[in-house]
Amino acid sequence: MLEAVIAGIIIIGFVAVVSRTYINPSQEDFTLQAYQSLESLDDQGILRPYAQAGDWGSLNSEVRIYGKNHTIEICDRSGNCAGQKPQGANVWAGSYIISGDQNYQPMQIKLYLW
């Protein structure tokens, strides 16, 4: 009888572990992907010069997020933005804020993924 109870516990535990991997598939974390991509460009010294120049096209070509379409928009503190907003449904938007390059001129880099 004790062996049957132990065997039942083992079987239930095995089924719970196996079913959890099938019930909860990993979902893409767009926030992490976008932040890591923009942070990597900032660490390489690419992001700030493009942002200060308002060159959203060149900055957009530097972003590497495979399997997703993306576009960049660069906004100054007055709310003036250069870039493209995508048209359509199911668009994810994230932002990365920098303080400026050699001076205090905050910029917001918006990254759209779809």
Where exactly are the structural domains of the chain? Answer: 30-113
**pLDDT of residue 25 exceeding 50:** no
**Residue 41: per-residue pLDDT:** 92
Q: What percent of the chain has pLDDT over 70?
A: 90
Model-wide pTM > 0.75: no
For tokens 């942002």, the residue is 51
**pLDDT of residue 79 exceeding 90:** no
Helical H segments across the chain, by residue range: 2-23, 30-43, 47-53, 56-62
Question: How far is C-alpha 86 from the geometric centre of its chain's CA atoms?
Answer: 16
Pair 111, 60: CB distance under 8 Å: no
d(CA 35, CA 95): 8
Q: What mean pLDDT is predicted for residues 22-29?
A: 53
